[in-house]
Amino acid sequence: MDMSSVVETKVNEDIPEINPGDTVSVKLKIIEGERERSQTFEGVVIRVRSGGTGANFTLRKVFQGVGVERTFPLHSPRLEKVEILRRGRVRRARLYYLRELSSKMAKAKVKSRAKDELR
């Protein structure tokens, strides 16, 4: 049984078209007990999975020398905002090879597109 047939999902219009290689900033709503706050995670998109309600994307960043990856579901109600900071031009759909590189070398591998394509 497919979840999309049981539960009705709303498409979040705040999420632009993202592709592997893009540098993205994601604002996420975090609920801790009775408190609610927003948390921002910024990184390079290394994977985009489509597929209805199970669609998600994975971001990677290097923080204090340690690689951190986080997967975000596209249809989550806790996803507040996704902002594309820089478009990337890569030749692969899955950028798992960035895990092996240092952060400086990874930035060199992901080439930036022209600024007029960002709009």
Half-sphere exposure of 48 (CA within 13 A, CB side): 15
pLDDT of residue 53: 83
What pLDDT score does 14 carry?
A: 72
What 3-state DSSP class applies to 6?
A: helix
Q: Tell me the backbone φ, ψ of residue 72, rounded to 5 degrees.
A: -120, 125
Instruction: Report the distance separating Cα 84 and Cα 68, nearest Å.
Output: 19
**10-residue mean pLDDT series, the chain (119 residues):** 63 83 94 94 94 89 91 91 91 89 76 60
Tokens representing residue 31 in the block: 């609920």
Phi, psi of 68 (to 5 degrees): -125, 130
Q: Which residues of 20-52 are buried (b: 16+ CB within 10 A; e: fewer)?
A: bbbbbebbbeeeeeeeeeeeeeebbbbbbeeee
pTM: 0.80
DSSP per-residue codes, 52-108? GGG-EEEEEEEETTEEEEEEEETT-TTEEEEEEEE-EE-S-S--GGGGGS-HHHHHH
Name the one residue in this structure whose structure tokens are 């801790």: 32
- Domain boundaries along the sequence of the chain: 11-98
Query: Which fold is adopted by the domain 11-98?
Result: SH3 type barrels. (2.30.30)
